[in-house]
Amino acid sequence: MNVKIEQSWKGQLKDEFEKDYFKRLTDFIRLEYQQRQIFPPGRDIFNAFEHCPFDKVKVVILGQDPYHEPKQAHGLCFSVQEGTPPPPSLLNIYKEIESDLGKSAPKDGDLTRWADQGVLLLNATLTVRAHQAGSHQNKGWETFTDAVIHRLAEHRQHLVYILWGSYAQRKGAFINTSTNLVLKSVHPSPLSAYRGFFGCKHFSKTNDYLIATGQAPINW
């Protein structure tokens, strides 16, 4: 199957695209885009990979589901399209960056600047129906994004995996902590951020590890 995805990822995932689950997923997604309003726009489904080729990945942040309201989702977890105000979880991420690194928060919620530096902003599910959170879960996306993480775990070392919340922590449970840095906390959602996200210092810890392993730090 010819999937329009960044070339280095296409090489890594070509076997995945031929599996039955992915063909079923593709049929389902095509029909959904024809019959309903689906986010992100079709051209942005694999946006995280376009901005972050396989060999350029330094940090992986795992999200769960795309935003499901207009002008939000564009294929990068926690990120919203340029010009859209940052949602509550992202505002809390910005607050932690401000506390951790002393950097004032940007007004914009577009995290493409992170992706271009090697931060893979990967949701577990890459599409969603408008106004229906979780509506494309358990259709095959989770199997595909598991395969993405497994490829990185098999072929890359000295990455930073940032796992916020129990869902991300379960998805990344197999990652080798002796050859990578795995950072965990509660989710930055307003419902949980005060139970351990604030003060986690994941952004300075990430950069300290990247520098220690001979990599350029991220300009958060």
Which one of 44, 65, 116, 208 is the catalytic residue?
65
160 exposed, middle or buried (CB, 10 Å; 0-12, 13-18, 19+)? buried
Contact 75, 52 (CB under 8 A): no
If you write DSSP's letter for every residue of 106-122 in order, what string do you get?
A: PS----HHHHTTTEEEE
What CA–CA distance (Å, rounded) separates 217 from 114?
11
The rounded Cα 205 to chain-centroid distance in angstroms is 19
What CA–CA distance (Å, rounded) separates 154 from 25?
25
Residue 65 known to be catalytic:
yes
Using DSSP's 3-state secondary structure scheme, residue 143 falls into helix
What CA–CA distance (Å, rounded) separates 48 from 58?
13
What CA–CA distance (Å, rounded) separates 102 from 121?
23
Catalytic residues: 65
